[in-house]
């Protein structure tokens, strides 16, 4: 079990939020994947009531997820980027959206989770930021990599809050494993065009 102090937990939560914001704002996939890894580590540090083994397992899952996504992006030759037409994608638009959603989700999460006695101050902030910004990322793109990254942020944020109310290790183990499945599916969807063209040939 990791016991972060009040200020330290807030700093870790803000770092997680900053990494999530960077993933939304980044134009390059490499930056986005690196930001995702930072999110995993910060979220793991905020799992206040989980055994250390599960915290380490979550970091390992994060490393595997980012490894899978990085290798797939590199192998499909699409390390650069990729914003879809039809969805607002300007930098200023995304920046304003990130700030608004971050503020709203932080205050909502503090109202929802902050009332609990057991929650350290960083928990509601981290949970709110990751869930809110993750949902924003899902809404801003239809590209599997970005949607998958947003989903992992949402699950990470949820797990930060859920560890304060649910003690069942098996359940947390299952939830922690889901990002790995999502990463595999994202990788599968990313390599599909290549497989499709091969079939045509």
Residues in contact with other proteins by CB under 8 A are 138, 142, 144, 147-148, 151, 154-155, 158, 162, 165-166, 168-171, 173-175, 178, 181-182, 185, 188-189, 192-193, 195-197, 199
DSSP-derived letter for residue 163 is T
Nearer to other proteins, 27 or 112 (CB): 112
Nearer to other proteins, 94 or 146 (CB): 146
The CA-based dihedral angle spanning residues 54, 180, 71, 84, taken in that order and rounded to the nearest 10 degrees: -130
Provide the minimum distance between the beta carbon of 92 and other proteins in the complex, in angstroms, as a whole number: 26
Provide the minimum distance between the beta carbon of 11 and other proteins in the complex, in angstroms, as a whole number: 26
Provide the minimum distance between the beta carbon of 87 and other proteins in the complex, in angstroms, as a whole number: 12
Provide the minimum distance between the beta carbon of 41 and other proteins in the complex, in angstroms, as a whole number: 21
Nearer to other proteins, 74 or 87 (CB): 87
Contact 163, 51 (CB under 8 A): no
Provide the minimum distance between the beta carbon of 150 and other proteins in the complex, in angstroms, as a whole number: 8
Nearer to other proteins, 76 or 107 (CB): 76
Nearer to other proteins, 38 or 187 (CB): 187
Contact 127, 154 (CB under 8 A): no
| Spatial separation of the C-alpha atoms in residues 153 and 129, rounded to whole Å | 9
Instruction: Spell out the residues 6+ positions from residue 104 whose beta carbon is closer than 8 angstroms to its own.
Output: 132
Contact 27, 81 (CB under 8 A): yes
Under DSSP, is residue 113 helix (H, G, I), strand (E, B) or coil?
coil
Contact 54, 167 (CB under 8 A): no
Residue 47 backbone class (left: φ over 0; alpha: ψ -120 to 50; beta: rest): beta
């Amino acid at each position: 079990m990791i016991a972060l102090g009040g200020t330290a937990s807030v700093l870790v939560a803000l770092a997680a939020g900053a990494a999530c914001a960077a993933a939304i704002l980044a134009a390059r996939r490499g930056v986005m994947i690196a930001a995702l890894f930072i999110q995993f580590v910060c979220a793991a540090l905020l799992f206040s009531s989980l055994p250390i083994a599960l915290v380490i397992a979550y970091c390992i899952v994060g490393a595997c997820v980012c490894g899978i996504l990085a290798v797939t992006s590199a192998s499909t030759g699409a390390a650069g980027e990729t914003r879809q037409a039809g969805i607002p994608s300007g930098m200023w638009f995304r920046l304003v959206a990130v700030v608004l959603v971050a503020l709203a989700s932080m205050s909502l999460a503090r109202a929802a989770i902050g009332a609990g006695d057991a929650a350290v101050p960083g928990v509601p902030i981290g949970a709110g930021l990751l869930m809110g910004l993750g949902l924003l990322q899902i809404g801003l793109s239809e590209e599997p990599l970005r949607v998958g990254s947003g989903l992992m942020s949402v699950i990470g944020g949820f797990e930060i809050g859920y560890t304060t109310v649910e003690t069942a290790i098996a359940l947390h183990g299952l939830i922690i494993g889901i990002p790995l499945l999502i990463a595999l599916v994202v990788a599968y969807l990313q390599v599909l065009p290549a497989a499709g063209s091969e079939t045509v040939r």
